[in-house]
């Protein structure tokens, strides 16, 4: 709500100000009136406002005289004053000269005001002279000297060409425009030449009248003494007024103040005849004599204007420079070029305000003359270096924007590239994108290597101002094309260096997809180019944002870099640099690959499901510890204690059962996955050697026999047998006792059980009829054998015993005799045998079968 209130109050204030300034005046129809900037004219009654033309936005100043100021005057004085003001503006409109104020719109009168529009105005001389003037408006000495020369030129034109006597040269009637040029104004009391009958010039004299208001007549402080003494009015009278003006500029006030005291003015005129001048200590020494000559009471003794221009006071370098600029339009291009070449030595010696407001406006006019731009542009940019960003944006950048688009002459690009850091510092980001970036694109595409190298050098300095799309689609492709197509080694190297500096502003995928493949397309193998390529790889690898992956290093980077290391022309230091980079890449590939493989191995090991052997090994370890602690009498804490099925009858209770020696459980049972080929060969060999063993075993075996997995579909094992052939590693290691034949068990082997065919496996029920044996093994339940290798306990000489057993089995098979019992393992203690038998025999055959599945 506060925002709306502020906006409303501001709008109301603006409307009320404009309505008070120009109520009903026609000037407001074409011009937008803004704020007051100064006052000027007789009694400073003209208020000067800044503004612009509504149709063209051309900047102007609007002079406004409010009639209400004259309300306290008498009617005759009001009419006289209004007529004087009208006449003065009309006369001003007729005169055209560089040092006479230019009128843009003629006088418009309404009931309340007079108004007209002129060129932009900074202030009147009265506003910038005196002790109360702000520091930013105080005149520099070079400005005063140059301004006086401009007044001399204006008066010369007025006297010699227009044949007019101003009659009121004073601080109020001298206006300083926006470019700090001094202009004549206030022609309210001017008198035109009325030649005599003999042709001699004559200017009628109008004596001062006490009956009129003081502001309706020329100011007595600046009036020449001959007007009061001799009633003569000549162009020399303006020279006396000019002398008083010079004295006022340096001291802040005229020689003497009279006001409306005409008698006092006459007395003072007589004193001047006696050459009584006031103190002139504030006036420069080289000007004092000329100033006294201008104040001479005799008009014919005053120096002429062209003589005044030659005095030492006006021979300053800065004054001459500004004077040359005023007359520059009269010179040819050769003279101009010589002047502009020497100007960079003078600009630093002048005040910045003079450079910005006096020199710069004149130079930018030369931008329409294309051949002169290379001579003018360095001076413009030199002034830009002395300016802040606001001054640059207001006074310089608008004139440079059209120049940014020029292609010819080519020196323009060269100058801009040399000063690109300055342009980037002062130009707003939006203007950089719209004006400066296209300039860089043209520089990369030109044919001059010097411009290309300058462009490549400055491009990384403002890469942050370039958006990603422009960088990817415009800048990088142009640099790559230049690097591949240029025949200049220096340009190629600068292209690579520029890319290396740009890497930190690129993303990883742009580097991997565009930059690294581009490096391999470069055919040149000069040492400088090779080292520039190495630098890009080094930056891309070490930068945490860009880091090249190990796959890219292994497949593309290292195979490309190794041949570079053996290029001819490399120095030892360069060779060492390349080799160090290759080693660093190899080390990183090795480290990252090793870490990856270790992580994969860990993940696979953690996610691998535990097989039966590992589960049983863990349980056997806990069971062994439990059995040892209870002296073999504890059976309920075993892993199989939860089963309540009755134990099968063991008829060989009086027989000694071979047991394993007391070794660690994890060493007793290990399963390692091997290739399927080894397992098949081993299984086939064991199957053939044990085929006759199942026929020779009796139902009442003395001890469990060492068995190996047998394929139930094999023809060598088609008959029924009392041995228990199983893939259970505990059975193969004689940890589980074989089921014994009894009157309640019609099956001689677990291989004959077929739970899906109606066999009596569950609960040990022997009343159900057993499925007859099939010699071909077609209807038999076949156990799925795991593809494993069995590693026997370390305390058992597996290799020797196994070889002996295989030889014995093979011999018995060939001879057709019954095999002998398997050699016993190292005996166990009686307590361990009793405990194992008691715990493991509680398992039902179906439970074991389900477990093995």
Residues 116-126: tens digit of each pLDDT: 999 999 999 99
Query: DSSP for 334-382?
Result: HHHHHHHHHGGGTGGGS-HHHIIIIIHHHHHGGGGSGGGHHHHHHHHHH
Instruction: Assess if residue 479 is contained within a domain.
Output: no
Residue 846: what pLDDT?
Answer: 63
Q: For residue 60, give both structure tokens.
A: 């102007």
Instruction: Assess if residue 213 is contained within a domain.
Output: no
From residue 722, alpha-carbon distances to 237, 739, 749, 752 in Å are 154, 9, 6, 11
pLDDT tens per residue, range 446-474: 888 888 888 888 888 878 777 788 888 88
Instruction: Assess if residue 475 is contained within a domain.
Output: no
CATH classification of the domain holding 145: 1.10.510.10
Q: Please check whether residue 765 is in contact with residue 793, taking contact to mean a CB–CB distance below 8 angstroms.
A: no
Q: 530 by DSSP, 3-state: which?
A: helix
599 and 626 inside one domain: no
737 and 768 inside one domain: yes
Q: Which of 258, 293, 314 is the last residue of a domain?
A: 314
pLDDT tens per residue, range 746-774: 434 434 444 444 443 334 444 444 444 44
Instruction: Assess if residue 477 is contained within a domain.
Output: no
502 and 632 inside one domain: no
CATH classification of the domain holding 82: 3.30.200.20
Whether the pLDDT of residue 559 is over 50: the answer is yes
Range of the domain at 771: 615-852
Whether the pLDDT of residue 643 is over 70: the answer is no
Q: What is the pTM of this model?
A: 0.63
501 and 422 inside one domain: no
461 and 440 inside one domain: yes
746 and 795 inside one domain: yes
Q: Which of 123, 140, 169 is the last residue of a domain?
A: 123
Handedness of CA 509, 512, 517, 518 (dihedral sign): positive
Instruction: Assess if residue 64 is contained within a domain.
Output: yes
* Average pLDDT for 295-309: 90
- Please name the residue ranges forming H helices in 486-571: 489-502, 508-510, 516-519, 527-542, 550-552, 558-564
633 and 742 inside one domain: yes
599 and 657 inside one domain: no
∠285-286-290 over CA atoms, to 5°?
105
Looking at per-residue pLDDT, the higher value among 465 and 540 belongs to 540
Least confident of 61-75, 544-558, 567-581, 741-755: 741-755
643 and 717 inside one domain: yes
Whether the pLDDT of residue 364 is over 60: the answer is yes
719 and 838 inside one domain: yes
Query: DSSP for 268-285?
Result: HHHHHHTT-----TTS-H
Q: Please check whether residue 159 is in contact with residue 235, taking contact to mean a CB–CB distance below 8 angstroms.
A: yes
305 and 412 inside one domain: no
Predicted confidence band at 628 (pLDDT cuts at 50, 70, 90)? Answer: low
Predicted confidence band at 204 (pLDDT cuts at 50, 70, 90)? Answer: confident
Q: 255 by DSSP, 3-state: which?
A: coil
Please name the helix (run of DSSP H) or strand (run of DSSP E) that holds residue 61, with its range, or none: strand 59-66
Residue 814: what pLDDT?
Answer: 41
Peptide bond before 409: cis, by omega within 30 degrees of 0? Answer: yes
From residue 687, alpha-carbon distances to 91, 453, 709, 722 in Å are 135, 84, 8, 16
Q: Looking at the 3D structure of the chain, how many domains does it have?
A: 5
Instruction: Assess if residue 579 is contained within a domain.
Output: yes
- Among 725, 846, 720, CA closest to 771: 720
Whether the pLDDT of residue 591 is over 60: the answer is yes
* Average pLDDT for 613-642: 57
Whether the pLDDT of residue 35 is over 90: the answer is yes
713 and 785 inside one domain: yes
* Cα–Cα dist 404/234, whole Å: 54
Residue 441: what pLDDT?
Answer: 85
Instruction: Assess if residue 473 is contained within a domain.
Output: no
Predicted confidence band at 851 (pLDDT cuts at 50, 70, 90)? Answer: low
Instruction: Assess if residue 483 is contained within a domain.
Output: no
Question: Residue 427: CB partners within 8 Å, gap ≥ 6?
Answer: 392, 397, 435, 436
Average pLDDT, the chain: 75
Q: Which of 580, 603, 626 is the last residue of a domain?
A: 603
Looking at per-residue pLDDT, the higher value among 194 and 154 belongs to 154
Q: 16 by DSSP, 3-state: which?
A: helix
């Amino acid at each position: 709500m506060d925002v709306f209130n502020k906006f409303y109050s501001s709008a109301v204030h603006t409307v009320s100000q404009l309505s008070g300034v120009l109520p009903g005046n026609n000037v407001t129809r074409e011009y937008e009136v803004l704020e007051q900037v100064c006052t000027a004219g007789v009694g400073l009654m003209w208020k000067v406002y800044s503004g612009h033309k509504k149709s063209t936005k051309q900047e102007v100043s609007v002079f406004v005289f409010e009639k209400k100021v004259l309300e306290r005057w008498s009617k005759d004085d009001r009419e006289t004053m209004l007529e004087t003001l009208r006449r003065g503006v009309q006369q001003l409109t007729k005169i055209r000269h560089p040092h006479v104020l230019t009128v843009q719109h003629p006088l418009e009168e309404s009931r309340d005001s007079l108004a007209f529009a002129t060129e932009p105005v900074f202030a009147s001389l009265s506003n910038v002279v005196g002790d109360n003037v702000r520091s930013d408006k105080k005149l520099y000495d070079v400005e005063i000297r140059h301004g006086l020369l401009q007044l001399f030129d204006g008066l010369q034109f007025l006297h010699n060409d227009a044949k007019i006597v101003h009659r009121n040269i004073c601080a109020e009637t001298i206006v300083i425009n926006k470019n700090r040029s001094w202009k004549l104004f206030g022609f309210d009391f001017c008198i035109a030449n009325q030649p005599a009958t003999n042709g001699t010039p004559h200017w009628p004299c109008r004596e001062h009248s006490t009956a009129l208001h003081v502001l309706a007549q020329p100011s007595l402080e600046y009036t020449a003494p001959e007007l009061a003494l001799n009633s003569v009015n000549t162009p020399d009278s303006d020279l006396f007024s000019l002398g008083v003006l010079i004295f006022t500029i340096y001291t802040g006030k005229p020689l003497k103040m009279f006001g409306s005291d005409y008698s006092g003015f006459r007395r003072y005129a007589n004193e001047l005849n006696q050459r009584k001048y006031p103190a002139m200590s504030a006036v420069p020494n080289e000007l004092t004599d000329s100033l006294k000559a201008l104040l001479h009471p005799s008009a014919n003794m005053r120096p002429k204007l062209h003589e005044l221009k030659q005095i030492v006071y006006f021979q300053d370098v800065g004054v001459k420079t500004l004077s040359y600029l005023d007359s520059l339009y009269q010179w040819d291009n050769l003279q101009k070029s010589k002047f502009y070449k020497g100007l960079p030595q003078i600009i630093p010696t002048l005040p910045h305000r003079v450079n910005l407001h006096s020199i710069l406006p004149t130079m930018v006019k030369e931008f329409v003359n294309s051949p002169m731009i290379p001579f003018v542009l360095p001076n413009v940019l030199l002034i830009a270096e002395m300016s802040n960003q606001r001054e640059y944006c207001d006074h310089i950048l608008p004139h440079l924007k059209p120049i940014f688009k020029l292609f010819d002459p080519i020196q323009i690009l060269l100058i801009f590239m040399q000063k690109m850091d300055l342009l980037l510092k002062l130009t707003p980001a939006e203007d950089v994108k719209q004006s400066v970036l296209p300039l860089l694109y043209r520089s990369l595409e030109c044919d001059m290597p010097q411009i290309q190298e300058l462009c490549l050098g400055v491009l990384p300095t403002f890469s942050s101002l370039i958006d990603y799309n422009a960088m990817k689609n415009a800048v990088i492709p142009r640099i790559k094309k230049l690097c591949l197509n240029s025949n200049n080694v220096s340009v190629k190297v600068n292209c690579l260096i520029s890319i290396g500096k740009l890497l930190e502003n690129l993303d990883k995928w742009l580097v991997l997809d565009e930059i690294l493949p581009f490096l391999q397309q470069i055919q040149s193998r000069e040492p400088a180019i090779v080292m520039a390529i190495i630098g890009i790889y080094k930056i891309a690898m070490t930068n945490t944002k860009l880091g090249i992956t190990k796959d890219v290093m292994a497949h593309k980077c290292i195979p490309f870099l190794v041949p570079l290391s053996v290029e001819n022309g490399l120095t030892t230091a360069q060779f060492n640099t390349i080799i160090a980079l290759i080693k660093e890449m190899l080390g990183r590939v090795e480290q990252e690959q090793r870490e990856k493989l270790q992580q994969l191995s860990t993940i696979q090991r953690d996610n691998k499901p535990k097989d039966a052997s590992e589960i049983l090994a863990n349980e056997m370890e806990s069971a062994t510890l439990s059995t040892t602690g209870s002296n073999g009498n504890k059976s309920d804490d075993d892993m199989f204690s939860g089963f309540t099925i009755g134990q099968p009858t063991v008829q060989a209770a009086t027989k000694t059962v071979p047991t394993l020696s007391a070794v660690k459980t994890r060493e007793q049972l290990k399963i390692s996955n091997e290739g399927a080929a080894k397992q098949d060969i081993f299984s086939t060999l064991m199957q053939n050697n044990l085929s006759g063993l199942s026929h020779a075993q009796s139902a009442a075996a003395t001890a469990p026999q060492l068995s190996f997995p047998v394929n139930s579909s094999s023809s060598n094992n088609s008959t029924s047998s009392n041995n228990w052939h199983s893939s259970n590693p505990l059975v193969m290691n004689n940890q589980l006792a074989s089921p014994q034949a009894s009157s309640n068990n019609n099956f001689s082997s677990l291989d004959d059980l077929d739970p899906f065919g109606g066999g009596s496996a569950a609960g040990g029920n022997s009343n159900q009829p057993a499925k007859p044996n099939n010699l071909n093994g077609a209807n038999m339940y076949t156990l799925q054998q795991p593809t494993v290798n069995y590693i026997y306990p370390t305390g058992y000489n597996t290799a020797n015993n196994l070889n002996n057993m295989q030889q014995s089995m093979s011999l018995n098979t060939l001879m057709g005799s019954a095999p002998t019992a398997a050699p016993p393992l190292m005996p166990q203690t009686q307590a361990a045998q009793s405990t194992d038998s008691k715990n493991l025999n509680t398992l039902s055959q179906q439970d074991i079968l389900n477990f093995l599945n």
